[in-house]
Amino acid sequence: MLTLINTQKKCKLHNGGEIYLANVSGKILSSLELAGFDQLFTFFDDIVTAVGKF
């Protein structure tokens, strides 16, 4: 998880980018939300929707 956080920071700092997480299973998504990671990452139900945000 630390790798994802550091990569997200670098993306935002250097090119204003963002990491999108797609197709995350329900239990994992619930755990990530409970830990507050929904404040750091954008989650999508599927890859097509995530790619459509670019």
Which structure tokens are listed for 12? 């935002």
CA distance 47 to 54: 12
pTM of the model: 0.78
Contacts of residue 37, defined as CB under 8 A and 6 or more positions apart, other chains included, come to 1
For position 35, what pLDDT does the model report?
A: 94
In tens, the pLDDT along 12-54 reads: 888 888 899 999 999 999 999 999 999 999 999 999 999 998 7
Q: Which residue has the higher pLDDT, 46 or 11?
A: 46
- The residue behind tokens 């830990």 is 35
CA distance 3 to 7: 6
Which domain range does residue 41 map to?
2-52
